[in-house]
């Protein structure tokens, strides 16, 4: 597996642990629909939460969350709509970003709730 894929996988594991520690129920990891992927699908109470995880080892070019482009947001929204239709979900949902900066010295996690809207 390529190094950037290993970093992404490690970030997703950290994000899952973070969500669980905050009382979320993780429903699905790396859910795919037509080449569109949602990193984590979770529930916070009755709210369905679609989580994009961005992990970097440095923030020289910007913080990890800044790399969730408008194009990526549109793909996530489309995938989320497919998921909602597939399970016939009726209720509130939102899009979060978990930004992880992994340096040799520390791991910094920032959970951005309602990071963007459809």
Domain of residue 83, CATH code: 3.40.1350.10
Over the stretch 52-76, which tens digit does the pLDDT of each residue have? 999 888 776 777 788 899 999 999 9
- The reported pLDDT for the residue numbered 13 is 95
* Total domains in the fold of the chain: 1
- The reported pLDDT for the residue numbered 40 is 98
- The helix/strand/coil state of 98 is strand
Per the structure, the complete domain to which residue 90 belongs is given by 3-116
**pLDDT < 70: residue spans in the chain:** 1-4, 60
> pTM higher than 0.85, yes or no?
yes
Give CA separation, 83 vs 2, 40, 44, 79, 103, in Å. 28, 12, 17, 6, 34
- The reported pLDDT for the residue numbered 20 is 98
- The reported pLDDT for the residue numbered 32 is 93
């Amino acid at each position: 597996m390529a190094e950037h894929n290993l970093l992404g996988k490690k970030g997703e594991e950290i994000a899952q642990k973070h969500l669980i520690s905050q009382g979320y129920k993780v429903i699905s990891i790396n859910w795919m629909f037509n080449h569109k992927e949602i990193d984590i699908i979770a529930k916070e109470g009755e709210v369905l939460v679609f989580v994009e995880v961005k992990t970097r080892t440095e923030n020289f070019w910007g913080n990890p969350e800044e790399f969730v482009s408008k194009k990526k947001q549109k793909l996530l929204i489309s995938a989320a709509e497919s998921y909602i239709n597939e399970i016939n979900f009726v209720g509130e949902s939102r899009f979060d970003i978990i930004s992880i900066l992994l340096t040799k010295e520390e791991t910094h996690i920032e959970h951005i709730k309602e990071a963007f809207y459809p």
